[in-house]
Structure formats: C-alpha cells, structure tokens
Structure 1
Amino acid sequence: MSHAVTSGSSGGGSFSSKQRTVLISLIVDFILWIPDIIAAILSGSIVLFADAIKCANEILATFFAYLTIRKMAKGGAGAYDYGMGKFETVTSIVTGGVMFISLALVFFVALYRIAVPAEIVQEGAYLGIFLMIIGVTMNSWLWRKNFRLFQKEPSPIMDSQWRLFRTKAFSDFAVLVSLIASLGFSHYAWSLYIDPLASFIIAGFLLFSGYRVITSSLPDLLDKTLDEELQMVIVRHLADFFEDYSALHGVRSRRSGNNVYIEIFLEFDGEKRMCEVQESINRIKMALEENIPRSSVSIVPTSVPMSSGQAKTVTESNGVHR
C-alpha cells in the first residue's frame, strides 16, 4: 500500500488524471467505511471490526497519496530539484507503521473473542453482507481502472493504488464468505469461532501490506543504488562509447520517486577541446536517457578517481576498466 509520487517531469494532464483517480478512490473508500463501522457495531462481528480498521488504514494511505499528487502538481522546481520522492517515502513508512499498530489491535481483539466466543447479531451481519457485495464490486472496478492507468503511464503511486484495490477486493470477499458461513452454520457450536478466526485473514492482509510498504520504501529513503539490470544498461552504453573517454572513475545513482538520477565520472583526453568533450558528453547522456525511462544523467568530467568505494565497486564489478 505504498504511495509513491510521480516525477516533476510529468505533464499537467498526467497529474490531473492521477489526482482525479485517487480522489475517486478516496471518496469511495470513505463512503463505504461509515456503514462498515455501523455494521461492525450492530453485528458484534470481529471480522467486520477488523475490516473497518483495515479500511481506516487504506483511507489514510489514499489520503497521503492524494496530498502527494496535489503537492507535485503545484511543482517544486527551485525548492526540490530532485523531486519529492523522499516526501512520498516518508508518508509510506508512516502508513506502514499505522498498519502494524492496527494489526496488533485486530490480533488481540480476535484472541479475546476466541477466548470469550459470542454470536453475531443477524441483522448487523446482513448489513455487512450487503456492504461486502458492494465493496467487492467497487474495489474490483477501481482495481481494473487503476491498473489500466498504470499500464498507460507507469508510476509508483498508480502501482500502489491498483495493488491496494486488488487487496481490498480479495479482503472484502474473505469477509463476505466469513459472514455467510457464520450465519449458514449458526446452529453448530463451532460456528462461533468462524468470525474471530476469519479476522486473522484480515490481519494477514495488514501484515503483508505493512511489510511491503516499509521494505519497498526504505531503500529509496537510504538512496540505494540502482538494481543490477539498470547498472548493466549503463555499462553497455559506456562500452559503446569506449573511444570517447580515456578513463571511468565511477558511477553514482539513486531514485527519487519514479525518477532515476545517474552521475558518471569520466576522464577525457587532455588534448581534446572542450567543445569535443561536450559533444561526447551529449551523445552518452542522450543514449542513456533514451534507454532508461525517466532518467536524468549527468556526465562529470574529472581526472580524479571517486573517493566512494561503493561507486567504484559498482563499475568494476560489472567489468568496466580502462
């Protein structure tokens, strides 16, 4: 459920469509959440209570996504030269932390209901069934809508959104089955345990989502270098321009949201004129940016090896030597 932000290079139309899609998701979430709470109170169902807690987390996450897109749509040039990927990452980690707190709450309430079983109230359960049918339908529709938008213009925030609604659709279906089973087998004593045991499924969704959000956000927050596949793209293109420079002193890279920033430190022949060096820089930069989507490449002429051992290792481990 992570919520990333698109780069500042995206056009106004792109921000507008994403902002509208996320706002629709937020409104639908909130409209369904209020009766979900009412159904949980009327029925005394732990699984409906767990679902309401989960929905609150999802509303929080979607709200953060909406705020992030709005902030990006206003632009941050001059104040945020590298985009606002860190802002997105921090909000994602906060959301993941709230998920784990909710997970603990759901877990202990479910354990209590197992220790002290109680029947669910049928009228409230019927309302819950009705809401879950609506939830499965709406979340499946939003899942497909966000996925199509993600395919049209990939970005971390739309990737997290379609995955969020896919999880919500499966989660609501699990709640629906649980409520139907609790009512259908209510004449059996063991049916009292269906509801609290099913709430562990919701807890599982919270655990998976929270873990995924935090583990996917931390590498970007710590400026982790690009994965090996993109490093190999850089290496192959540097090999193509082997005659244009005399030494490679290092490569440094990181992500900010869905932007990729790459710095390449090259040494050029001292006999070359600056205009010739600049022509080589432009060719290398253009080739890399064409093959690495949403990348910004900086070629730094230098005769001094980089002091960062990590940056040297990146290039040397891929077999680039002069």
Structure 2
Amino acid sequence: MDVKQKASGFAVLSAFALAVSKFTVGLMSGSMAVVSSGLDSLLDVFMSAMNFFAIRKAAQPADEGHPYGHAKAESIAGAIQAVVIIFTGGLIIYQAVQEFLYNHGILYSVLDMGVMGLSLTFSLVISLVLKTVGRRTGSNALKADALHYASDLYSNSAAILAIFLTYYTGKSFFDITFAICTGLIIMFSATKILREGISGLMDSRIPKHLEDEIESILGEMSFPYAGYHKLRTRFSGNEKYVDFHLLTCRELKVDEAHELAHRVEDRIKARISTIDVVIHLEPCTYECQLTEMTCFLIRTRGKRPR
C-alpha cells in the first residue's frame, strides 16, 4: 500500500469515527447543527472510501484495454464527489428550514461541545495530511478530499458557535442559521472540486509553472539541439503528459538524434514527477554553417524555430 492509499485509508477511518459520535450526540440533543455536521462526516466516509478505491485503480499499470493507464479514475472520483457534496449541502439547508418551520426544541450538553471540538481537531489533522500527500504525489483525488475536509473546519466551527450561542441565549435561531451556512459552505467547496474533476477528464493542460519548467529545460540544451515547436501538455489524474517536436541539426545521424531525444526526456523526468514524454524528431531547416557557434548565435537572436 503506497502513501496515497495510506492517507486515504486514514481519512476513511477518522471520518467514520466522527460520524458515529456526531450522530449519537446530535440525535440525543436534537441539534440540527450537530446532526448536519454528522451527515457531512458520513459523506466524508463515502467520499474518502471512493477516493481510496479510485487511487488503487489509478495506480494499476497500463493494460491492453487501457494503454494509457487508469489515472483518470481519480478525476472521475473527484467529479462524483462534487455532485454528491452539492446534493448533501442542499439537503442540510432543507432540513434546517424544516427545523425552523416546525420549531423543534433543542437540548444541549457539554458533550455537544466536546464532540464538535474533537471533530474540529480531526478535520484539521485529516485536511493537513491529505493536502501534504496530495501535493507531494500530485494526486487530484487527495487534494479534492483535502479541500472537502477543509470546508469541514468552517462547518464545525459554525456548529460550535451555534451550540454556544443557543445554549446561553436559548434561541434556536442560531443553530438553524449556522446549519444553513454549513450547507452553503459545502456546496461552494464542491464547485472547485467539480471543476478540477472535469478538467482531468477533459485533458486540460498542466499548470503553467510546469510548462515553464519544461521550456526552461529545453532552453538549456546545447548543440546539436536546434529548437522545438508544437509543445502540448495535458494531465490525467496525477499523471502528466507532454509531447513536442524536437529540432536537431540536420547533419545528425538517426541514432545520434535518438540519443539526444533520450537525454531531453531524462532531464524532464528528473525535474517533473509522474510525467510521460513523447518526442517527435525533426531536422532543423534553418540555413547555417552547421556548427555549434552559428547555431548558438541563431538561437540567441531569437530566431530559433519553435
């Protein structure tokens, strides 16, 4: 089990423990803020479990039916997460409105505060773990899950504040208001998750700073490298793909040009993780004296074809 699967498994177990405690306390006290937070934690269990299996699927190597691998499984998981999160946020708001209309009584105890305080701490820890591993591995599924748990920080904080205000004022208005805020926060966070999931499915380009890194690597190459053009990038899950036409001195032999392409590929992979590089070789058509000096002068004058 790799680090991504361990992080996802940790999130599943933690969210399950929180969901059980929140539902138990919330149903005992009648607090919609606590129950809504418990529903959110139950959703976390489902989402993190789905991420766990999506990450396992994405880690499988390419096969005959999937020659480009299974990396998009993470993007699919992210998109599904977003849809379910939006639905859950709407459900929380609906329940809060129903509570306001029928004006059910709410009984709070010190246990309410304890459970929500524990939830706040766990949400912070889980979010930091997932965010750290997601950034290190480039996993969109983990980064989306981290964003979801980050939204829990706001919803749990709102629930604690609602408990405090309702307990000391006796007004259930605070509980209902913060439950609605929780639903809105959840729905808002889902929009970013949905965009990232769809981007992964639509073969969007990799982040600009990574493209700049690739161009920087190409710019460092020396003769008989002569330039490049038709650079394209995309990402699928946490996998990144780049292809471009590599221009070489037209005097190079095929095996020499092939060796040069390998050096370029190795340099890119050494500086950017989980990237697949495809290079199409082309002879440079620019007229020069076929020497390193004249090629360098042409390139530094900004005449290098790209």
Please give the TM-score of this superposition, normalised by the length of structure 2: 0.81
Contact 1:110–1:200 (CA<8 Å) still a contact in 2?
yes
1:61 maps to 47
Which of residues 79, 83, 86 in structure 2 aligns to 1:97? Answer: 83
What's the Cα RMSD here?
2.9
- Partner SS state of residue 279, structure 2: strand
2-structure distance, mates of 1:29, 1:162: 12
Gapped regions of structure 1 (runs ≥ 5): 1-14, 304-317
Which of residues 49, 60, 63 in structure 2 aligns to 1:78? Answer: 63
- Partner SS state of residue 63, structure 2: coil
- Partner SS state of residue 199, structure 1: helix
Which of residues 278, 281, 290 in structure 1 aligns to 2:270? Answer: 290
Pairwise CA distance, 1:91: 1.4
1:213 maps to 193
Gapped regions of structure 2 (runs ≥ 5): 284-301
Please give the TM-score of this superposition, normalised by the length of structure 1: 0.77
Which of residues 150, 157, 182 in structure 2 aligns to 1:166? Answer: 150
Which of residues 15, 22, 25 in structure 1 aligns to 2:11? Answer: 25
2-structure distance, mates of 1:225, 1:166: 26
2-structure distance, mates of 1:178, 1:27: 27
- Provide, for residues 208-237 of structure 1, a one-character-per-residue CA deviation record: whole Å limited to 9, x for no partner: 221111011211210012233222233333
2-structure distance, mates of 1:227, 1:149: 18
1:46 aligns with 2:32: yes
Once the two structures are overlaid, the 10-residue window that deviates more, 202-211 or 246-255, is 246-255
Number of positions where the alignment pairs a residue of Structure 1 with one of Structure 2: 288
- Partner SS state of residue 277, structure 2: strand
Instruction: Give me the identity figure in percent.
Output: 18
Pairwise CA distance, 1:284: 1.8
Following superposition, which runs of at least 4 residues in structure 1 exceed 6 angstroms of deviation?
A: none
| Cα distance, 1:66–1:203 mapped onto 2, change above 3 Å | same
Contact 2:62–2:70 (CA<8 Å) still a contact in 1?
no
Pairwise CA distance, 1:162: 4.0
1:253 maps to 233
Task: Return the letter of the residue paired with 2:267.
Answer: A
1-structure distance, mates of 2:72, 2:188: 22
- Partner SS state of residue 164, structure 2: helix
- Partner SS state of residue 226, structure 1: coil
2:73 maps to 87
1:5 maps to none
1:109 aligns with 2:95: yes
- Partner SS state of residue 293, structure 1: coil
Higher-RCO chain (CA-CA 8 Å, sequence separation at least 6): 1
Which of residues 120, 123, 126 in structure 2 aligns to 1:139? Answer: 123
2-structure distance, mates of 1:320, 1:260: 26
| Cα distance, 1:237–1:17 mapped onto 2, change above 3 Å | closer
Which of residues 205, 209, 214 in structure 2 aligns to 1:234? Answer: 214
Pairwise CA distance, 1:180: 2.0
1-structure distance, mates of 2:137, 2:126: 16
- Provide, for residues 248-296 of structure 1, a one-character-per-residue CA deviation record: whole Å limited to 9, x for no partner: 4412211122221111123445542111111221222222222323222
